[in-house]
Structure formats: C-alpha cells, structure tokens
Structure 1
Amino acid sequence: MQGDSLPLVDEHATVVVAEADAVWRSLGETLDRSFSGARSARFAGLVGAADRVASGPRPLAEGSTFPGFRVVGALPGRELVLEGRHRFSVYSLVFRLDEAGPGRVRLRAETRAEFPGLAGGVYRALVIGTGGHVLLTRRLLGAVRRRCE
C-alpha cells in the first residue's frame, strides 16, 4: 500500500475496555459520523481532495470512501487502512487493534504523510505545526473508546 512508504507523522493510542469486534464497529461508526458530514465535504472540496463524498460499503470495507479518505485495507477486528490525497498532501491513516489483556484492546492511529512544495509546507505548518492534527486524532480515539465503554 502507498501509505507504508510515506514518512511517519505521529502515532497515538488508547486502551478500550471492550472486545475487538465492538471496538471495530465503533471505529467504523465514529469515522463515518466524524467525516461524512457537510463540513468535511466542504473542506475536502476546498483542498481538492480526491474523495469528496461518502460512498461504498457500510460498515467500512475496502473501497468505502468518505470526504478525504478511501479505505484501501480492512482486516476486521485488526487493522483499517485509509489513504487520501489533495493539493497539499498525500497521506495515510492506519488504525490497529491489539489485544491489551482480557476484554481490553489497544487502539492505535498512525499517520503518515508527505507535504510537497511550498504550499504543502504551509499546509503542514497549519495542520501539524499548530497541534490541530494531534487534537483531532486524540478526540477521534476518545470518541471510539466512549462509544464502546
């Protein structure tokens, strides 16, 4: 997959007190609710994202899309790989579910991206440099955890 070759931006994790199947369902539902709205579609259009609408199978599976992302890999209960691109960046977001003890799952979100050119550098400064990406990623992981617990 393309995302494997992109530079690592960061990784965040949370432990969820639930079985992997429940965390997987919650992850898909949370991503869909977080990124399938009109605000995400407007932002995707503004930056020229390749994927601008929610489409494809639900629950999320290979070929599903929502604004800014396309599912390029899905191993239910284990790994979900999203990729995207727009005028300022090429990126991947990989969610991994690892056993963390009986009835507990460590949910990790790994971001990889390239920000080509001057415009990409400015975009990186705005999204990564301000801490906005960290805040959104942690909020997303927390939403998955709360939905399960």
Structure 2
Amino acid sequence: MSRDDVPAASAGPGVPPGLPLVDEHRVRIAAGADRVWAALGGWLGERAGPGAAAYARLVRAEPAAASGAPLAEGATLPGFRVARAVPGERAVLTGRHCFSRYAAVPVLTGDGEGGTVLAVRTYARFPGPLGAVYRALVFGSGGHAVAVRRMLDSVRRRAEG
C-alpha cells in the first residue's frame, strides 16, 4: 500500500477526515521526551515570525498569524492551528491554504534506551489543478523532505545540547 492509500482513520485523533498520509520523517534523539517536546516548541516558536506570516498571507493560509504558546492546544502558528496536543507525546497541527488542506503530526516515542524518536507525519489533500502543481513543486521536488529533515536535525541539536 502506498502512503497515499493510508486512510485518514489510521491517522489518530485530531487529524481531519479525508487527509491521506503523504510522508513521514523521523530522527532518534538522545534526550527524553520532555526535552524533545520543549525543543520542538522552541523551534516552532522561532519560525512563527514575520516571514512565515507573510507567506501565510500570500497563499491565503488559515490561520495566518501566531497566537499562544507554540504547542498549546488551540494556539496558532502561520498556516497551522494546534488542534490537539498531548505534551511529550503527540500534537496535531492543522491548516489550509488555497492549494491544500493539511495536518502535520509530530509523534514522540521512547527508544528503549532513554532517548526519543521524533517522527513527523504529513497528511494532505491538494484539490484541483493548482493543488496538483503545488504538490509537484513542494513534494515532488523533494523540497518538503529537505525542510522536514532540517527541522528534525535542528530539534535534535536543541534537545541534545
């Protein structure tokens, strides 16, 4: 089964229905889940500045601005709303813009050796011809994978530092 065929029902609580799994990236971090959660929140908070808000407005993202603590349920980041948060375990960040509806789901699990595996799953739909073009540009080019891997590496360095 390809990742696009994974039904949304397997995505877990908080992921909007009808969004298939697009990709998943993970990293092992030599730190406990609480430190990884804090590092993830810090990274997200730093990325919620004027540049992200400008891009969110450009693509008519909802929500377009940041409010609240980055990983608090109900908080917003440009392009994302924290629909669900279980500190140290899982969050569901949902959003939409003129090219897609999506959810980013960071999941933290123990590695059995005192560390944490941080996985980020992306669920999305790309309606219409413009959505297909957007998907090809962002996912088909490998740009999304590069960006997520950089984020994971940054969170790993913060948590281990």
Name the TM tier (shorter chain).
Answer: over 0.9
Counterpart position of 2:109: 98
Name which of 129, 134, 140 aligns with 1:129.
140
Counterpart Cα distance in 2 of 1:42 and 1:128 = 21
Does residue 39 (structure 1) correspond to residue 46 (structure 2)? The answer is: no
SS of alignment partner, residue 105 of structure 2: strand
Q: Measure how far apart 1:31 and its partner are.
A: 1.2
Which amino acid in the other structure matches residue 47 of structure 1?
A: V
SS of alignment partner, residue 35 of structure 2: helix
With structure 2 as the length reference, what TM-score do the two structures score?
0.88
Does residue 65 (structure 1) correspond to residue 71 (structure 2)? The answer is: no
Counterpart Cα distance in 1 of 2:20 and 2:159 = 31
Within 5 Å, give how 1:71-110 maps onto structure 2: 71-110=82-121
After TM superposition, what 4+ stretches of structure 1 lie above 4 angstroms from structure 2? none
Counterpart Cα distance in 2 of 1:39 and 1:66 = 12
CA deviation vs aligned residue, 1:27-65 (integer Å, no higher than 9, x gap): 11111112x111111110010001111102x25211110
The higher relative CO (CA closer than 8 Å, separation ≥ 6) is in 1
CA deviation vs aligned residue, 1:72-94 (integer Å, no higher than 9, x gap): 00001100110000110000000
RMSD of aligned Cα (Å): 1.1
Counterpart position of 1:28: 41
Q: Measure how far apart 1:7 and its partner are.
A: 1.0
Unaligned runs of 5+ residues in structure 2 are 1-13
Unaligned runs of 5+ residues in structure 1 are none
Identical positions, percent: 51
With structure 1 as the length reference, what TM-score do the two structures score?
0.95
